[in-house]
Chains A and B, each alone.
Chain A
Amino acid sequence: MANKTKKINTCSALYTPKVMETFKNPHNYGKIKNPSGIGKVGNIVCGDVMWLYIKVDKNDVIKDVKFETFGCVAAIATSSMITDLVKGKTILEALKIKKDDIIKELGGLPSVKYHCSVLAVDALIEAIYEYFLKEGREFPADLLEKHKKIQKDKEIIEKRYEKWGKQI
């Protein structure tokens, strides 16, 4: 804990202590210069945007990872958590990370915030997708399908939010 002397109020019935602690001191935020790939997901209209930068070495190991997130407590906590989970892993290992792994590491998330953990996983997939695309390499199993699904969901969400405030 960074602030041992100062008592911080982290009482929340909504979020676990681990979520609050991660939100308070998020790891690995910022940019990576010349990243191997960037995953940009979410929509500012919906209130959650996550950009994930990865730096991959020649052995396909994620040497560095950083995030920039516009979003709520859960969005920032899941962003930080996924960077901790993927750092030092190979691409193929990282692709095995599921939203439930992030939720578990955070000691749980309120169900209305599950989409934040989905966003974190999607950002990682998109970053890895961009890496393979740039490298001109063959995509690992399912990566292209996952990428296409993320893009399709994005369109659906954008359409849904066009209606905000217009209906009675």
Chain B
Amino acid sequence: MKRIYLDYAATTPVDKRVSKEMEPFFGFSAQGGPASGWGNTMSLHSFGQEAKIALENSRQVLADIINADLNEVIFTGSATESNNLALKGVALANNPPAGGKGHIIISSIEHPCIIESAKWLKKQGFEITKLPVDKYGMINPEDVRKSITNKTILVSVIHASNEIGTIQQIAEIGKICKEAKVYFHTDASQSFGKEKIDVKEMNIDLLTASSHKIYGPKGAALLYVRKGIILEPVLHGGGQENGLRGSTVNVPAIVGFAKAGEICQKEMVKENKRLAKLRNKLIKEVLKIKNSHLNGHQKSRLANNANFSFDFVEGESLLMQLDMQGIACSTGSACSSFKLEPSHVLLATGLRPEQAHGSLRVSLGRFTTEAEINKLIKVLPKIVEKIRAISPYGK
């Protein structure tokens, strides 16, 4: 059976152009002969320096994409690590002018790595505010302004939601933070490579981006840190990444990350147009199913994201029925998580837990075809009907 992958927001396969670019950095070339570039970037000999040059070239490529300077980009091993470094790094190195422990503002729809980092900081004595969202998952920038106190050191708001795809008014929030002289971090794991980002124009002080969401390999991510911001490292070590991230640098993954970013940047406009068209068709057809709803914002939304709720349907069952038909999606149902709690993002938008249990995230990507979307449109109503037939509700 030919399988259909519609979970690109979870991760993406590596583009062939990317893996080809990475090959020499593992120590072999595409032609099978010995290659260079696999050395340790901290070594002074030519093996090391070849790797170092590749690392810095990659840094430049990625910095250019977000209009940052070369030295403002720190490589890490994952978006989770970047987000941990942003929150903990800022919190532990920056005291509010008024003295005492700082105050950090996050949104209620952040990725768990932001929420858990904030929780940990709370345990260390920092004050945390969680901003609400409206029913479309939008933060009101005015709420940011109102929440800032003389103790606030950092605001962190996710650029585009990994679950519902809602894109925040990042530039407005950035402006408010700049005026209040508070650092502003955004987790752009889902938007980098899909939406235009200019850290200067948008007044972003710190930004997280990830490789494996954009057809690059897993194990590489970045944190943009605006010049002049002092961070406390999370991984202390041998001085790599300006002393901010000890660890031997994963050069092949970073080279792949840069190539992946470059491709996304080049193809962005055309690809977004193509994906939005497919996605809109999907939304239009799926909403014909009785008692179905679209989660997230109508317009301010990632081109590749659709998120639905089906009343009286439990998401894991839906997901697994689809999987048995070869279609891979995702759900915010509690049963899909090991915490047995429904998606905090959907709850934050005001959905009742039972509606959150019945959610389905469909995320499209580079290799999604119209035929694949048509197949989903065809099988989904029958699967929803089948699950409702077993359910005690909705008859």
Contacts and interface: CB of A to CB of B under 8 A. Distances in A.
A45 B353 contact: yes
Given A24-B324, A161-B353, A164-B347, A69 B316 contact: no
B3 A9 contact: yes
B3 A70 contact: no
A136 interface: no
Contacts of B314: 47-48, 70-72, 75
Interface string B334-349: 1110101110100110
A interface SS class: mixed
Nearest to A45: B353
Interface string A75-112: 11000000000000000000000000000000000001
Contact of A168 (B128, B342, B348): B128
A29 B348 CA distance: 34
A67 B392 CA distance: 8
A168 B112 CA distance: 11
A18 B343 CA distance: 28
Nearest to B344: A165
A72 B338 CA distance: 13
Contacts of A23: 317, 320
Interface string A1-41: 00000011110100000001001101001100000000010
Nearest to B119: A168
A36 B63 CA distance: 70
B324 A168 contact: no
B134 to A, nearest CB: 15
A154 B130 CA distance: 30
A47 B390 contact: no
A65 to B, nearest CB: 15
A125 B348 CA distance: 36
A69 B320 contact: no
A161 B118 CA distance: 22
B119, B128, B341 — most chain A CB neighbours (10 Å): B341
Contact of B340 (A26, A29, A40, A46): A46
Nearest to B312: A70
A129 interface: no
Contacts of A74: 335
Given A8-B324, A23-B320, A168-B122, A70 B347 contact: no
Interface residues of A, number: 35
A10 to B, nearest CB: 6
A51 interface: yes
A68 interface: yes
Interface in A46-72: 46-49, 51, 67-72
Interface string A146-168: 00000000000000010011001
A143 interface: no
A69 B130 contact: no
A73 interface: yes
Interface in B312-329: 312-314, 316-317, 320, 323-326
A141 interface: no
Contacts of A20: 320, 324
A132 to B, nearest CB: 22
Nearest to B324: A8
Given A45-B354, A47-B333, A76 B1 contact: no
A72 B333 contact: yes
A69 B387 CA distance: 9
A48 B354 CA distance: 9
A40, A51, A72, A76 — most chain B CB neighbours (10 Å): A72
6 nearest CB pairs, A to B: A72-B335, A68-B392, A72-B316, A165-B347, A44-B354, A47-B357
Interface of A: 7-10, 12, 20, 23-24, 26, 29-30, 40, 44-49, 51, 67-76, 112-113, 161, 164-165, 168
Interface of B: 1, 3, 108, 115, 118-119, 122, 128, 130, 312-314, 316-317, 320, 323-326, 333-336, 338, 340-342, 344, 347-348, 352-354, 357, 389-393
Given A44-B354, A47-B335, A168-B118, 18 more contacts: A10-B324, A23-B317, A29-B389, A46-B340, A47-B334, A47-B342, A49-B392, A49-B393, A69-B391, A72-B333, A72-B335, A72-B336, A73-B317, A75-B335, A76-B317, A112-B338, A164-B341, A168-B122
17 contacts: A9-B3, A9-B324, A45-B354, A46-B334, A47-B333, A48-B314, A49-B393, A68-B391, A70-B391, A70-B392, A72-B336, A73-B317, A73-B320, A73-B335, A75-B335, A168-B128, A168-B130
